[in-house]
A and B are shown apart, each in its own frame.
Chain A
Amino acid sequence: MFWKRTIPIAIVATVGFLTLFGWFVDEPHIKNFVEDDATQWYDILASFAIFLGALNLLKMQSQKILKKQTGWQYSIFAVGGFIFAIIAGFVIKGNDAIQWGAHVTGKGTLFKWMFEFMFTPLSATMFALLAFFVASASYRAFRIRNFEATLLLISGIIIMLGRVPIGIKISAWFVLYLTILGIGVVVNNAFKNKQITLGFVVGGLLLTTIAGFWMGWPVDQPALFYLPILQDWIYNIPNVAGARAIMMGIGLGIFATSMRYILGIEKSYIGE
């Protein structure tokens, strides 16, 4: 029990206190540990751990092949890919001018070749799949179900259009017309009276048209309805307010959770 539980809890508390209060201490050894060694140690630890992970991956995939589970043929590619990467990493350098160690970031090595022609296209394409997913997600999710969803939709669309060059071409008057129609829907829902709705919409459109002729239809006036300016406002004011609230919540949550670990109130991450 002592080795399995008490020591780990003691390690958390000691290291935690040291790294937390080390921020206030102007003593070279402690400062060095907090600012440099602490994270380096973790990195070293993680680098050892990754061998463990790789072993687990190999075990799972080889089991699949040996037991001929469904899709075992594909596991051959996983094992093969891993072995190829390890060979490029530890056995064949491919460029004698570069030292071992520098070969993982240097030019002309097998490792670099693997990075450029296998790793890069795979990860960049996987990332690019998101362009499609984000389109289908917005298609499905941006529905005017309730007021909150509508806000999400409107702010999303304004940012999407206002941020790109085409937004500059969209006249503020067009947006104004749309806004009046949109408010018309709200008015209709609020009063449930066709006459009021009709009066509002026709009146609004008429007034806008008169104002438009009077002002000569400038693209970026009234500024409130010009997408590039409107998106800048949304992005700088309401967006920041919301983001800041979440940010502070997260900050507090992380602080409180960290303190719970350091003080040993929460210790289930090592099993209780």
Chain B
Amino acid sequence: MNGILNFISRIGQLDRRWIFLIIALVVLIPLFFPLGLPIRATESTRLVWETVENLEPESKVLLSLEYGPSTKPELHPMVFALVRRLLKNDHKIYMTCLWPDGQFMAEDLIEKVIELEFPDKSYGEDYVLLGFRPGGEAVIKGIVSNIRKLYTVDARNLSVDEIPMMEAVNQFKDFDFLFSASAGFPGTVEWVQYASDPTGVPMSTGTTSIQVNEVMPYVQGGQVKGILAGMPGAAEYEALIGVPGIGTSGMDAQSIAHVVIVLFIIFGNVAYFVERKKAKKY
């Protein structure tokens, strides 16, 4: 008995490097040997899906990319899935970037999804990359008041007046829907405060997991129509549209890692109690 107790309390003082090693292994192994666990959509993901499905055909969708390489694993999958759905439903996509590195992400998106999977969609008619403009919130306000003043040329240096799908797009109110893929500031919160709230154009968002809590009160209050929460949010959306992608494939590693962390927490607590008992005895 004493041996077991000693062992448990030793786990309690485990060098954190062992934890690091185990985490690395449990994330790495499922990447090679996937399990194929089922995916179930949460309410807020379903809301995004419903909002997108209920858009009129040929709706003008503003897709704003506000993330960079460091949060790419979380946001890229959901943007991929969303764009697939939007193009399949024949909506028009206008891409803007509030972060300079967002433009790299958008280029990657065009290269890997749009050009590869939708060769019949043409640039300037079905989708356009307006690109990055510096200024953060000022860019949002600029889009709200007069997008043509802010974007005289797109990211490929084409004059906006020569882009067919930019016809009749003058300000934010001319869009039917906004999706902000956001990893921080400026991002979802600023879009709510300066664009969606003041104009009433519906918006949904996809954020990094960590930001979810910050945005949740807006979602609960209906200011934002649903939220895709991190990589699992992307996986859920992929499940709803029936096209599995990067999000789904990461979910096994994610599941196992969570279980292992929960086990750590339980061990930690057992060790804590054993320690406390010991301390009381002496």
Contact = CB atoms under 8 A, between A and B. Distances in A.
Direct contact between the two chains A and B in their complex (CB within 8 A): yes
Interface of A: 31, 35-36, 38-40, 43, 102, 104-105, 107, 112, 115, 119-120, 123-124, 126-127, 131-132, 135-136, 138-140, 142-144, 153, 157, 160-161, 163-169, 228, 231-232, 235-236, 239-240, 243-244, 247
Contacts, number: 147
Interface in B30-57: 37-40, 42-44
Given A115-B101, A124-B70, A136-B19, A143 B258 contact: no
Interface of B: 16, 19-20, 23-24, 27, 37-40, 42-44, 68-72, 100-101, 103-104, 107, 131-132, 134-138, 141-142, 144-145, 155, 157, 213-214, 216-217, 220, 229, 232, 235, 251-252, 254-259, 261-262, 264-265, 268-269, 272-273
B43 A232 contact: yes
Contact of B69 (A40, A123, A163): A123
A143 B216 CA distance: 27
Contact of A239 (B137, B213, B258, B262): B213
B135 A236 contact: no
Contact of A139 (B37, B142, B251, B265): B265
A36 to B, nearest CB: 5
Nearest to B21: A132
A143 B272 contact: yes
Contacts of B42: 163, 228, 231-232, 235
Nearest to A157: B262
Contacts of A40: 135, 138
Given A39-B138, A123-B70, A232-B42, A161 B262 contact: yes
Contact of A135 (B44, B259, B261): B261
Contacts of B23: 131-132, 135
B265 A138 contact: yes
Given A105-B155, A168-B38, A240-B217, 11 more contacts: A39-B135, A120-B70, A135-B19, A135-B23, A144-B269, A157-B262, A166-B259, A169-B38, A228-B42, A239-B216, A240-B220
A142 B251 contact: no
B110 to A, nearest CB: 12
A135 B69 contact: no
Contacts of B220: 236, 240, 244
A247 B215 CA distance: 10
